[in-house]
Amino acid sequence: MRRNLNRGFTLIEVIVSVLIISFVTTGALFAITLSLSSAAKIRNNLIAATLAQEGLEIVRGIRDQDWHLGNSFGASLSNGSYVIDWSSQSLAPFSDTFIKKDANGFYNYTSGTDTIFKRKIIIENSGQNPSTVEKVIKVEVSWLEKANISKMIQAEDRLFNWQ
């Protein structure tokens, strides 16, 4: 009886093993890259939605401040396009500038590092009601993703003269 003492791998077995390992590794790297890209897009959408919501709340706060000061509805909310900081009590004319993020993580237009986001607040009279009854507030937050893909989130609210 003769025993085969060649216990190594054949060339074909080695090539097949290398190909299988290559395919698995490439697939895993592709999945990781795709998930990181998706995470960045989701983060940008979340920040933009938060900036839009903040814009609406700031305008609502200005309306409420007018009431506390005894001013008429819409006294500080003239029709037009504006920018505003979270700490501001008034609207500034729109300028197509990037929002900055300061060292404390607050977004503003005066200090910090430029972000990829721009915010525009649009105030209009309602088409259905006179300006003394209702104001339409629109907030547009825009940014550029990789490969210069333009993105935008819009939010809208209606403020009423309910006092």
How far lies 132's CA from each of 58, 71, 127, in Å? 20, 12, 12
pTM (2 decimals)?
Answer: 0.79
Closest by CA position to 92, among listed 73, 111, 109: 109
pLDDT tens track for 149-162: 999 999 999 998 87
pLDDT band, residue 4 (cuts 50/70/90): low
Helix (H, G, I), strand (E, B) or coil at 71: coil
User: CA 8, CA 23: separation in Å to the nearest integer?
Assistant: 24
Judge residue 33's burial from the number of C-beta atoms within 10 Å of its C-beta, 0-12 exposed, 13-18 middle, 19 or more buried. exposed
Could you tell me where the DSSP H helices lie in 69-158?
none
Question: Measured on CA atoms in the order 38, 40, 42, 48, is the torsion positive or negative?
Answer: negative
Over range 25-35, report the average pLDDT: 87
Instruction: Give the tens place of pLDDT for each residue, 35-71.
Output: 888 888 999 999 999 999 999 999 999 999 988 898 8
